[in-house]
Every structure is written in C-alpha cells, then in structure tokens.
Amino acid sequence: MQVHGALVRVLGVGVLLEGPSGVGKSEIALELVTRGHQLVADDVVLIERGPDGHPEGSCPELIRHHVEIRGIGILDLVDLFGKEAVVERARIDLLCRLEQWRPGASYERVGLERPRRELLDDSLPALVLPVRPHMATLVEVAVREHLRRDATGSAAARLDARLRGEAAP
C-alpha cells in the first residue's frame, strides 16, 4: 500500500501525517526532526505488515531521507541533521489527519474516546488536527498523550471520574 503523507517517529511512536497537498505535512515533519525526532518518509509512504502483523511504513529508496519544503526546495536531512535524524522504517501507531482550520467545524475537545481508523485491517488511533501555528508541538503532545493513555488511561477519563466523585453526595 502507498499513501501520500509523511511518517515520523516521535518518542518511539510512528506517526503517519496525512492530509491534502500543501497542508504542511513536510513542514511539521521537519520541525519534529529539529526537535530530535526521526523522519521515516516524506511525500510517499510505503505501508506493509511488519513481522508482528502491525502496519509499518518506509520510504522509496529513491527519495529516502529527503523532504520538499515549499520556498526552500529539496532537503537531505542526513546532510543537515545527521544520520540520527532518519530511520529506515517504523511501526505505525498513530494517524494524524491534518486539515485547514475551518471556522465552525467540530473538532475533538475532550478526548474521552479516541477515534480509530483501519489501516491494513488494523484499528489505529486517529486524530484530526486543524492546521495552526505550532503544529509540531501538537503532534508531539498527541504522542505523549497516546503513550500516557496506554499506560494510565486518558486525562479526560481521569478528570471525568474525579469530577463525578466530587459531584456525588
């Protein structure tokens, strides 16, 4: 399977950034690399089942380690940031669909239930993020929350339980 997007590894979590052309996927991937995370693929992400059956992504060899940034051009991230800035493949754990901010659109605000989407018959957490300034921060925080949610449940659920406990007689 091949998708148009960017795949980054943030804190060990593979995040597939999807969205229409020009929405900012490459710029967010680049900003995450500058923070010490790793690029797997930009523009074309090849997805297949890994040894454990979970979706994994990689990049076609011809464009591996490169990103295209409008206004700058093609960048080789190994040249700019070193070989630690890239990884050949990564398990895909989180889907982030980027879209232009739409006034009046409904976006998740509490997070009690994480929406999911199928990828190679595997159900993965899937977020829709409206593109705004500081998007790399939001992706990084989404990963931190994803890891925390797996370990201790969501902050929203913990707060909800606390509020229900305080509201109970």
Catalytic residue of the set 52, 70, 102, 109? 109
169 exposed, middle or buried (CB, 10 Å; 0-12, 13-18, 19+)? exposed
pLDDT value, residue 166: 62
Q: Domains in the chain, ordered, with CATH?
A: 2-167 (3.40.50.300)
> 18, 20, 64: which is closest to 40 by C-alpha?
64
| Reported pTM | 0.83
Q: Is 109 a catalytic residue?
A: yes
pLDDT band at 132 (very low <50, low <70, confident <90, very high): confident
Averaged confidence pLDDT in the chain: 89
Annotation says 25 is catalytic: yes
Q: What number is the average pLDDT over the span 65-84?
A: 91
pLDDT, tens digit (0-9, with 9 covering 90-100), for 140-169: 878 888 888 878 777 777 777 877 886 444
43 tagged catalytic: yes
Taking the CB of residue 127, how many other CB atoms lie within 10 A of it? Answer: 21
